[in-house]
Amino acid sequence: MASIEGGYFRTEGEFFFPVGVNYLPSKHDCRMWREWDPQEIERDFRNMGRLGINTVRIILLWPDFEPEPGRYDQEAIRRLEEMVEIAKRNGIKLLPTLVTGDLAGVKWVPSWAIGKSIYSAEVIERQKGLVREIAGRFGDEQAIFAWDLSNEPSYWEEPDDPGWAANWTRSLAEAVREVDRNHPVTVGLDQHNIAGESRFRIEPVAPYLDFLSIHTYPKFLPQGESPLSFRGTYFPAYCIRFCRLGKPVLLEEFGLSTGTFSEEDVGAYYEVVMFSALVNGAAGVMSWSWSDEARADRCPYDERFPMTCYGITRADGTEKPAALRMRDFSKVIKDISPFELDEGEVGLLLPTNVYNQDVGRATFNCFVVCKMAGLSPKIVRKGEDLRAFKLLIVPLLFSHKYSLEDLGDFVGAGGTMLCSLGPGYVPLGRLEEFLREVLRLEVEPRASHVEGELKLI
């Protein structure tokens, strides 16, 4: 069984670093449970083993496993059991995603659940039932690496409040642990939950998970800037460090489509992202996806052609350069031991409104500038102890609410603070507070408030 030690995983008592792929069979895509083809799966898993892939994430689409409320499809579960046996024969761990209602831009929801909020008490109870059914069946299974509650739930439905996301995550995670105390629990979040003004946020859900899982695709890049640019290849590293909240962070999805970029460029992107993830604290890497899709003539790919070309293998089974980069990376992983990430004495203090897209973009750019200067800052949040840092970088100081007195204490104790004040105009009151509380200067403002307005004198 997988266990957690520090920021990494162990299986059978040994250090375990997942090097994996997300899996949809090329010929059957999202319909794999209905169009069951164990021969194709066996062949794919055997080829994965040749490339050093040790972990496979599989997607359990909700309609396939609970077609009617409370009725769990036993044939689908039997097929899952068969997949577990195939994985065991090929030395692969499985990461099943339990309740999936959004995949490849399409809602895969049972007919009886259409129009119902996934955050409602009624639907949460139904989801908990399915979670208990599956996790309970496989609670002692060595081939299961961990349970993933869902795939990118905020794309399925954006919650009205971060508290909704926390309640949903807590409810499903508790349902798993009621029947299975052996396997860790996570949920597949994506860059939207870091950089897209989502209300499904990292901090409220993290306490209910054993490790964090993040999906990253190029984000915050101006039109025309390549994902292979300096900034483009550092976005996954930023997301990993953003999610480091005292628990392992799995880079659960990353990739590019060879329908948009050349195979050679995608291979180069894989190499940079995997090694960058490793040195920035990831506990594992998993690409999207194993194979190109052979059925571009049907939903969801008939209107999304680039999505058919994310595989590290082609639809005919031959390997792309990205597959060879994964093979080389897996060889390196076999030769390393558990290690601690040295984050040094530099901190990057997140703005309290970092989920605002403009503020998030500026914070990411700050992270990239740090990397350009040879710094690898630890990302810290409001309320964390700052005394371990010699240098504290504070982007957009006046765009959020901080206790400037705390920052003043940091500077007063000998720390160095590098900050930007913006964006845009600087409120006179906040500037006065900054001068007084942080720089400890005596300030005599030459302004007065008249009828709620600020008048300069």
Sketch the domain layout of the chain as residue ranges. 2-334, 346-456
Please list, in sequence order, all residues whose beta carbon lies within 8 angstroms of the beta carbon of residue 173, skipping any fewer than 6 positions away: 149, 185, 208, 209
Say if residue 448's pLDDT is above 60: no
**Residue 433 or 244, more confident:** 244
End-to-end CA, the chain: 70
63 and 30 Cβ atoms separated by less than 8 Å: no
Region of 414 (left: φ > 0; alpha: ψ -120 to 50; beta: rest) is left
The whole-angstrom distance between residue 126's C-alpha and the CA centroid of its chain comes to 25
C-alpha span between 7 and 245 (Å, rounded): 10
Q: Average pLDDT of 40-50?
A: 98
Task: For residue 15, give both structure tokens.
Answer: 């250090």
pLDDT tens digits along 153-204: 999 999 999 999 999 999 999 999 999 999 999 999 998 899 888 999 999 9
* Sole residue written with tokens 């995949």: 103
Q: Is the pLDDT of residue 12 over 60?
A: yes
Rounded mean pLDDT of the chain?
92
Most confident of the ranges 217-221, 262-266, 411-415:
262-266
User: pLDDT tens-digit profile of 371-408?
Assistant: 999 999 999 998 899 999 999 999 988 776 767 778 88
Q: Sorting pLDDT into bands at 50, 70 and 90, what band is 222? A: confident
> What is the Cα–Cα distance from 246 to 241, expressed in whole angstroms?
11
Read off the amino acid at residue 51.
Answer: L
Residues 164/119, Cβ–Cβ less than 8 Å:
yes
Tokens representing 95?
């990461």
CA atoms within 13 Å, Cβ hemisphere of 1? 13
Question: Rounded to whole angstroms, how far apart are CA atoms 284 and 329?
Answer: 11
Question: How far is it, in rounded angstroms, from Cα 190 to Cα 152?
Answer: 6
pLDDT at 400: 67
Q: What CATH number has the domain spanning 2-334?
A: 3.20.20.80
Judging by DSSP bridges, how do beta strands 284-287 and 249-254 pair with one another?
Answer: parallel
Residue 101's SS3 state is coil
| Element spanning 79, H or E | helix 74-89
Model confidence at 438: pLDDT above 90: no
* Calpha distance 411→249 (Å, rounded): 32
Comparing CA positions, the residue from 35, 90, 91, 42 lying closest to residue 61 is 35
Instruction: Please state at what angle helix 38-50 crosses helix 74-89, rounded to 10 degrees.
Output: 30
State the DSSP code for 347: E
How many beta carbons lie within 10 A of that of residue 431, not counting itself?
15
Kindly state the tokens that stand for 422: 């913006």
pLDDT digits (tens, 9 = 90+) for 317-373: 999 999 999 999 999 999 988 777 877 799 999 998 899 888 898 999 999 999 999
For residues 395 and 423, what is the distance between their CA atoms, to the nearest angstrom? 9
User: What pLDDT band is residue 455 in, cutting at 50, 70 and 90?
Assistant: very low
Q: Strands 284-287 and 19-23: what pairing? A: parallel
Is the separation of the CB atoms in 330 and 284 below 8 Å? no
Tell me the average pLDDT across 254-259: 96
